[in-house]
Amino acid sequence: MPKILVTGGAGYIGSITIHHLMRRGFEVVVVDDLSRGHRENVNPSQLTVARLQDTDAVTKVLAGVDAVVHFAAYIAVGESVRKPELYFSNNVGGTVSLFEAMARAGVNKLVFSSTAAVYGNPERVPIPEDARFDPVSPYGESKAMVEKILESLDRNHSIAGSAFRYVALRYFNACGAEPDAGLGERHEPETHLIPLLFRAAVSGKPIQIFGSDYPTPDGTCTRDYIHVGDLAAAHVAALDHLLAGGASHCFNVGTGKGYTVMEVLRATEQVTGLKVPFEMALRRDGDAAELVADAAKLRSTLAWKPERSDLHAILTDAWNYFQKHPA
């Protein structure tokens, strides 16, 4: 079976994708600097603790690798507005170093974690892949820059002297868990909606709702919530495509259906049986009003479809995981 390097494999989506890859029989090695991920998410025999900026270390790990799945990045929109330099250095600089290591090691296939944040405030929703890039946060800008570099590498065949091929997966809102594998969402500090709703429900301390004056049905932001298991399946499909010699692509990964923050809050109350206290707050910098995917291209090209992304199924898996891993 092919050997895959997963960068950022100690993180939330990375660790769950590894679980899916190994179930499929892939050999997996991992590079993670553990600055944001959790050591216990990865089998120690698979893990090299290194920064992607350490090109020599990453080149060594790439020996015998057939393709890379690249998750390692910082992901907090709000933090990226306060510390843009950190996001460009880690998300762009780290990725460029990875490309150099791949060139040295002769590895020329990559699946990239991109984001709906590359679109900013889209002109139309659901958002197709050919929508204009107009990110409104340094986080989104860092991912858009990497996509530009990927296009250039593909055009110029500049990795390993042979055709470089990639799939960029633009995630909408990753959520849910793989409770059976003991894997789920646990960021510190936590900034994501669903774990924060659970924390508010359990602690009784209100969650702040960032903005109630958006042009949406109830004034709160609309997002397309995609189960992390469905997201992991999209990575496996993208790898199969590249390993079979497929062309470069970018794909939205979402369901095509949006929920407002208040709808997610109410659904959380139903799933947990607890009241979620909340208070209305100012808009958060860098937030777009509505992000919903047109995911038709991924469905038709890679025969992928969301199977676990019903909002109640997402919240049920996430709640199971949260109860076993309280903050």
**Contact residues for ligand UDP, defined by CB under 6 A:** 77, 173, 191-193, 196, 207-210, 221, 223, 261, 284, 287
* Bridging pattern class, strands 222-223 and 259-260: antiparallel
Smallest separation (angstroms) from ligand UDP to the CB of 295: 16
* 139 annotated active-site: yes
Catalytic residue chosen out of the listed positions 139, 171, 225, 321: 139
- Prior bond of 189 cis (ω within 30°): yes
Q: Which residue is nearest to ligand UDP (CB)?
A: 221
Smallest separation (angstroms) from ligand UDP to the CB of 191: 5
CA distance 121 to 137: 11
CA distance 140 to 144: 6
Residue number with CB closer to ligand UDP (95 or 173): 173
Residue number with CB closer to ligand UDP (89 or 191): 191
Smallest separation (angstroms) from ligand UDP to the CB of 113: 12
Residue number with CB closer to ligand UDP (162 or 208): 208
Residue number with CB closer to ligand UDP (48 or 212): 212
Smallest separation (angstroms) from ligand UDP to the CB of 285: 10
CA 42 from chain centre, in angstroms, equals 17
- With a CB cutoff of 8 Å and minimum separation 6, the contacts of 33 are 49, 50, 51, 52, 72
27, containing H or E segment? strand 27-32
Would you give the end-to-end CA distance of the chain in angstroms?
A: 38
Positions marked catalytic: 139
